[in-house]
Amino acid sequence: MSYHQNWSAAWRSPEPKQQYDAIIVGGGGHGLATAYYMAKEHGMKNIAVLEKGWIGGGNTGRNTTIVRSNYLWDESAHLYEKSMKLWEGLSQDLNYNVMFSQRGVYNLGHTLQDMRDIQRRVNANRLNGIDGHVVSPQEIKAAIPHINIDQGCRYPILGASFQPRGGVARHDAVAWGFARGADKYGVDIIQNCEVTSILQENGAVTGVETTRGKILSPKVGVVVAGHCSVLADMAGFRMPIESHPLQALVSEPIKPILDTVVMSNAVHGYVSQSDKGDLVIGAGIDSYTGYGQRGSFSGIEHTVSAIVELFPIFSRVRMNRQWGGIVDTTPDACPIIGNTPVKGLYFNCGWGTGGFKATPGSGWVFAHNVATGEPHELNRAFALDRFVSGLLIDEHGAAGVAH
């Protein structure tokens, strides 16, 4: 017995080679999943994932881990549902426990219009084969005894949509599981390696300049979330993205009290309880743009007051930690996945406040896109040129501040 001292490393830390068949920039969950599926599904093994800090240190390790697929429009419903199906087999596929827990997700409605939108969304979901139903305040109270369904408060709970297959997963484990899986196929995961410019010749990408030297490749997939405008600027084109701080907090650990996920768009709060016992609480974005990875004090106050109105019993629980990520928001609250004006250069970004749930599905479609040079059927509609054609996919109702 060595008391957990002599575990072998779950992935290698190789020196970067001079050349790869493909480079993935960004070692978050999406970048690592992309590399994993490129190796597993497309037989590409000479790949590097370049991460400026440590893998999973961006939004992947900072989010509140809610997973669901109940989006309104067909394009997004199909993409997020693909991801949900992958989640359902992910621990087995990776042979790594990502602690995916389908404890159900409630999206609360507080006004008559909220309820109409919820009914419409649940109907659309069911037509797309996605589970969900509309529940009354009494049904919510029966499932979540501590919730406040008093109809006299400022934003009373009038009902909710419920997706039973929704839930949460362990965010770090998702990054580590995909990293270990990709590494097994020979993918080089290179940390502390920041991309500082994107090399091009005759309109095609030829590699990247990094803090660890020049690395050549005819294919570069950029998956850097909040930093996508910075990388697009290096490549010489513009993005319809604004990066905002988004924060979350956890309470001190308490005994099991909440066995599902509760979210509310209208009052800007969502809460679940981790296996450790802390209440995991998420806020809305700060209105201004920012790369500072921290949120405003007023944001915490706003969220906590909403949570305490929903769950008066939480009012005396203490906050333990608070942190922020940088989320890449788009005008239609949908991601941008696909080709760019530069040949061989692909972008996967714009997941904003809600991309953790999409991690496996995003990696799956982007692997196809980078490997074949053509979008997968599921990501075709999410091309950058939808902002030129005008074919936006307005998911503000299902995405918005909620995750």
Partner 1 sequence: MLLIECPWCGKRDESEFSYAGEAHIARPLETEKLSDIEWADYLFMRKNPKGLHREQWLHTAGCRRYFNAERDTVSYQIKSTYKIGELPSSEGKA
Ligand X SMILES: Cc1cc2nc3c(=O)[nH]c(=O)nc-3n(C[C@H](O)[C@H](O)[C@H](O)COP(=O)(O)OP(=O)(O)OC[C@H]3O[C@@H](n4cnc5c(N)ncnc54)[C@H](O)[C@@H]3O)c2cc1C
What residue ranges bind partner 1 (CB under 8 A)?
A: 227, 229-230, 233, 238-243, 287-292, 296-298, 331, 387-390
Of residues 135 and 401, the one with the C-beta less far from ligand X:
401
Considering the complex, state which of residue 158 and residue 369 has its C-beta at the smaller distance from ligand X.
369
Residue 317 or 393 with smaller CB distance to partner 1: 393
- 158 or 328: CB nearest ligand X: 328
- Please select the residue that binds ligand X; options are 24, 37, 48, 64, rule is CB under 6 A: 64
Backbone angle region of 167, left / alpha / beta, with phi > 0 → left and psi within -120 to 50 → alpha: left
The entry of ligand X, partner 1, none that residue 238 binds, CB within 5 to 8 Å by partner kind: partner 1
Closer CB to ligand X, residue 90 or residue 158? 90
Residue 207 binds what, of partner 1, ligand X, none (CB under 5 to 8 Å, by partner type)? Answer: none
CB of 337 to ligand X, least distance (A): 11
Q: What separation in angstroms does the CA of 53 have from each of 228, 293, 328, 383?
A: 16, 14, 18, 28
Q: Is 165 in the site for ligand X (CB under 6 A)?
A: no
Establish if 66 lies at the interface with ligand X (CB under 6 A): yes
* Both structure tokens of 20: 């790869």
Nearer to ligand X, 137 or 207 (CB): 207
| From candidates 26, 137, 166, 177, binder to ligand X by CB under 6 A | 26
Q: Cα separation of 254 and 123, whole Å? A: 37
Work out which of 11, 23, 36, 65 binds ligand X, going by CB under 6 A: 65
Pick 158 or 170: Cβ nearer ligand X: 170
Minimum distance from CB of 1 to ligand X (Å)? 35
Provide the b/e sequence for 223-251 (b: ≥16 CB within 10 Å).
bbbbbbbebbebbeeebebbbbbbbbbbb
**Strand pairing partners for 320?**
none
Q: Residue 22 or residue 326: which is nearer to partner 1 going by CB?
A: 326
Q: How far is CA 71 from CA 118, 161, 219, 344, in A?
A: 11, 11, 31, 31
- Tokens at 91, concatenated: 């621990």
The number of beta carbons lying within 10 Å of the beta carbon of residue 252 is 12
* Nearest-10 Cα torsion for 91, 30, 63, 67: -50
In the list ligand X, partner 1, none, the entry touching 355 (Cβ below 5 to 8 angstroms by class) is ligand X
Closest distance of CB 12 from ligand X, Å: 18
Calpha distance 284→167 (Å, rounded)? 20
Q: Which residue's CB is nearer to ligand X, number 58 or number 290?
A: 58
- Asked whether the beta carbons of 354 and 329 are under 8 A apart, the reply is no
251 touches, from partner 1, ligand X, none (C-beta below 5 to 8 Å by class): none
In DSSP terms, 210 is beta-bridged to 195, 213
Q: One symbol per residue from 326 to 365: x for binding ligand X (CB under 6 A), - otherwise; what is it?
A: -x-----------------------x-xxxxx--------
Position among 194, 209, 242, 394 found at the interface with ligand X (CB under 6 A): 194
Interacting partner of 289 out of partner 1, ligand X, none (Cβ under 5 to 8 A depending on kind): partner 1
Nearest-angstrom CA–CA distance, 296 and 179: 32
C-alpha closest to that of 105 among 130, 55, 129, 70 = 70
**Close Cβ partners of 205 (under 8 Å, ≥ 6 residues apart):** 198, 199, 217, 218, 219, 220, 235, 342, 343, 344, 345
Number of chain positions touching ligand X (CB under 6 A): 39
Q: Which of 207, 204, 231 is nearest to 17 (CA)?
A: 207
Residue 34 Cβ vs partner 1, minimum distance, rounded to whole Å: 23
Which residue type does 55 have?
I
Q: Tell me, residue by residue from 230 to 269, as one string, x for binding to ligand X by CB under 6 A and - for no binding.
A: ----------------xxx---------------------
Is 62 a binding residue for ligand X by CB under 6 A? The answer is: yes
Give CA–CA dist 97/27, Å, rounded.
Answer: 19
Q: Which residue is nearest to ligand X (CB)?
A: 28
